[in-house]
Amino acid sequence: MKRAVFPGSFDPITLGHLDIIERSIPLFDEIIIGVGTNSEKKYMFSLKKRMDFIEKTFSHYNSISVSQYEGLTIEFCKKIQADFIIRGLRNPADFEFEKANAHANRKLSGIETVFLLTAAKNSFISSSIVREIISNQGDYIKLVPSSVRI
């Protein structure tokens, strides 16, 4: 069985995340969306709310589940017996950052990282942009799945 983790904070989940996850479905038997938590980070949405957004977005997919974790992604992967990490790339800066992480993860654990390029129509979307729009009462609806309504 090919099990993969798509890790992130998903604060909130965006159409860019949705695109990467949906395009990953044919590649893996099971995808676990790992919602990481970091006590140093200030989130706009609670962990429960972020997980609710994701669960509603993917409720019609049997091969996708959502799980919360703390600490290193590779330790979470080992715990749930996932051999792959899925990462989306929007731009060259993402690639350089993610490449270093992928090399370290493979060296430390043998876990492979699979990169997917974000669709051009979503390449500008990030959770931080969405949070900025929300905090300034802007129209964020076209950047997130329909489950993300506040």
Give the 3-state secondary structure of residue 96.
Answer: helix
What type of residue sits at position 108? L
Give the 3-state secondary structure of residue 6.
Answer: strand
Report the candidate in 78, 69, 86 with the shortest Cα–Cα distance to residue 108. 78
Residues 28/21, Cβ–Cβ less than 8 Å: no
CA distances from 76 to 15, 53, 71, 148 (A): 25, 21, 8, 26
Q: Hey, which residues are catalytic here?
A: 17, 41, 90, 127
Tokens for 146?
């329909």
Give the 3-state secondary structure of residue 70.
Answer: strand
